[in-house]
Every structure is written in structure tokens, then in C-alpha cells.
């Protein structure tokens, strides 16, 4: 007997490639609910810099895993996995299709694969010590320590992702094994569902142009005001959330370290670098089918995706 599995749709791609626009078109053809796989959109009060879906878009399609924690709350990939899997189950229970979409590779893997995270608990004393080192000597200093303990993890984790760097160092020190070896040996495909895994791509020059346009749009929407508001609410500039793309550059602007023009330039540059790392991450997974959406109407792309989904369902 053939086992019928419930089908899930996954759409990934680099930042600014057009995932939101395509998802909106898909919603006109399929009864979907979106499960965000974006590590920054989980934070409340951080809307402009994280490019969250607008209130109109969110009123048209139910969104999950957005605005679920405060900027100073701890939130691990394991936490994401638990809550997102619960959301998927609820969506299926309503007879709708979960569309998992975003650009955080580890979040995607946590759902598509039986990612078993380290059972080693938190060592708050060690974490605080490492966090203080980063604040005193800089993120690169801490990242160099990770390179010594676990070169593979250091290659994958950006120095500014202090939270992830600290976790990798913590696990490596406490277990005596590199963090990377633990993750790699505990990844098996999830068999509970059938997956349609798609990646959206554009030519590099076109993507970079869209990144620059979006960064300028964020500035015009009031990104600087949003960051000032977060600081006035009492959130520390050293929080992992406020070290995210766009936020750390605007903090430098507020502190007078850079001009507005320079801050925008740095946001564009660092976002392009991030997009390149996203491509690298997802291209390692052969389960993704890639669709070039350059110079194509979103309705055409949505038609193609829905055809693939229905054909394989």
C-alpha cells in the first residue's frame, strides 16, 4: 500500500529576491498559510529593518512565526523548530497548505530534516563570559576562538552572529566534540511529510540592484526612527537582535560614527554579502529545485510553482 503523506511547500532564496511577492500570488491559487523561516522576523517592534510582510499582506494570508518574542529574549533554533512544527500541524488540521518561506537556512533545515540539536543544556555562566569577551574585544575576537575549536562551524557562522558563535563554542567546550560534527551526524530527512522544495534566484546584478532599492526604501520608511525607538525602550545595542543587518549600521549612525550615506552604503554592502552566503548555504542541498524569476511576471512564477506542487501531490 502506498503511504499518502501530507504535502508541504518550501520556498527559499536570498534576501530581496522576491519571496513575499511570489507567495502572495500563490495564495490566490492555493489555500496556504505562511510559516516564516526568518530569524529576524521573530522579534517584535522590528518591522522595517526585517522587511516583515505588511499589515495588508498579513491580513490577506495568515502568517506564523512572526512577532513572537521581544528583542531581548533568548530564542534558539530548537525553540523555532518546536513552535514552527506546532504551527504546521495546526495549518494541516484546518485543511490548508503550509508554505514555509524565508532565508534562514538553519530554520529551513530544522523543519525539513530531523535536526536533533545538542542535548547539552545552557551554561549561563560560560555564555555571559563569552558575551563579555565579544563586547570587550569585538566579535572577531570571539570568532577566532571558534576557529580554533571548530573550523567548520567558524566557516559557516558569521562573526556578527554572536549568539550562534557562543552556542558553538559552548557545545564544543562542554562536549569535547566540534559543534559541526554533532549537527552533521544528526540530520535525516523528515518522513512525516512530502516536500516540494523550491529556490528562487535572479542574476547577481539584478538581485544586488533590488537589495540597494530595498535598503533605500527602508531608510525612507523610517528605519532610523525604528532603531531609536528600540533604544529608547531600553533595549541594549549589544543584543543579538540589534546586531542584525541594518540595525547595527543605523546604531553607528545614531552614535555619530558614520553619516547617513555611509550607513546606507554599509547596509547595501553587508546585505549583498549575506545574500551570497544564503546562496552558498541552499546550493549545498540537492533537494531544492531552482527557478530563475528574472524578468518574469509573478503570476507566471506562481502558476509554475502551483503546477509543480499539484503535479507531485
Q: Are residues 64 and 20 in the same domain?
A: yes
pTM higher than 0.85 for the full model? no
Q: What is the mean pLDDT of residues 207-226?
A: 98
Average pLDDT, the chain: 90
184, 242, 249 from 122: Cα distances, Å: 21, 22, 30
State the DSSP H helix or E strand holding residue 201, giving kind and residue range, or none if neither.
strand 193-201
- Give per-residue pLDDT as tens, 103-139: 999 899 999 987 766 556 677 888 888 888 888 888 8
Residue 281 in domain: yes
Can you give the CATH number for the domain in which 41 is found? 3.40.50.300
Q: Are residues 224 and 92 in the same domain?
A: yes
First-residue to last-residue Cα distance in the chain: 17
Q: Are residues 253 and 204 in the same domain?
A: yes
Q: Are residues 111 and 20 in the same domain?
A: yes
Look at residue 177 in the predicted model and tell me its pLDDT: 79
Q: Are residues 169 and 274 in the same domain?
A: no
Q: Are residues 259 and 225 in the same domain?
A: yes
Q: Are residues 255 and 220 in the same domain?
A: yes
The three cell numbers locating residue 196:
516540494
The three cell numbers locating residue 76:
534558539
Can you give the CATH number for the domain in which 128 is found? 1.10.20.140
Return the bridge partners of 11, or none.
101, 198
d(C-alpha 49, C-alpha 58), whole Å: 17
Cβ atoms within 10 Å, residue 244:
20
In the block, which residue shows the cell 498579513?
A: 58
Return the bridge partners of 195, or none.
8
Q: Range of 43's domain? A: 6-117+186-311
d(C-alpha 135, C-alpha 243), whole Å: 12
- Give per-residue pLDDT as tens, 87-100: 999 999 999 999 99
Q: What is the mean pLDDT of residues 216-224?
A: 98
CA-wise closest residue to 46 among 23, 24, 69, 15: 69
Amino acid at each position: 500500500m502506498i503511504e499518502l503523506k501530507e504535502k508541504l511547500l518550501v520556498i527559499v532564496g536570498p534576501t530581496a529576491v522576491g519571496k513575499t511577492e511570489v507567495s502572495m500570488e500563490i495564495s490566490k491559487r492555493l489555500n496556504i498559510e505562511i510559516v516564516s523561516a526568518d530569524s529576524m522576523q521573530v522579534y517584535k517592534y522590528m518591522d522595517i529593518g526585517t522587511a516583515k510582510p505588511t499589515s495588508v499582506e498579513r491580513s490577506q494570508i495568515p502568517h506564523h512565526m512572526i512577532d513572537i518574542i521581544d528583542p531581548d529574549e533568548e530564542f534558539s533554533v530548537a525553540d523555532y523548530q518546536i513552535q514552527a512544527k506546532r504551527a504546521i500541524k495546526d495549518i494541516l488540521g484546518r485543511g490548508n497548505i503550509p508554505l514555509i518561506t524565508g532565508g534562514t537556512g538553519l530554520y529551513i533545515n530544522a523543519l525539513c530534516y530531523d535536526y536533533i540539536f545538542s542535548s547539552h543544556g545552557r551554561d549561563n555562566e560560560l555564555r555571559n563570559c563569552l558575551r563579555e569577551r565579544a563586547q570587550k574585544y569585538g566579535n572577531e575576537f570571539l570568532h577566532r576562538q571558534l576557529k580554533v575549536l571548530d573550523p567548520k562551524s567558524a566557516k559557516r557562522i558569521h562573526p556578527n552572529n554572536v549568539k550562534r558563535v557562543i552556542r558553538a563554542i559552548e557545545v564544543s567546550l562542554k562536549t569535547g566534540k566540534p559543534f559541526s560534527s554533532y549537527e552533521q551526524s544528526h540530520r535525516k530527512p523528515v518522513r512525516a511529510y512530502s516536500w516540494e522544495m523550491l529556490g528562487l534566484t535572479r542574476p547577481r546584478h539584478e538581485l544586488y540592484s533590488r537589495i540597494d532599492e530595498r535598503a533605500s526604501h527602508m531608510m525612507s520608511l523610517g528605519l532610523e526612527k525604528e532603531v531609536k525607538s528600540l533604544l529608547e525602550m531600553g533595549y541594549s545595542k549589544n543584543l543579538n537582535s540589534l546586531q542584525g543587518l541594518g540595525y547595527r549600521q543605523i546604531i553607528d549612525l545614531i552614535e555619530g560614527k558614520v553619516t547617513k550615506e555611509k550607513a546606507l552604503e554599509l547596509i547595501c554592502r553587508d546585505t549583498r554579502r549575506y545574500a551570497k552566503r544564503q546562496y552558498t548555504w541552499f546550493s549545498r542541498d540537492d533537494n531544492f529545485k531552482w527557478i530563475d524569476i528574472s524578468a518574469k511576471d509573478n503570476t507566471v512564477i506562481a502558476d509554475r510553482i502551483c503546477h509543480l506542487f499539484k503535479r507531485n501531490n
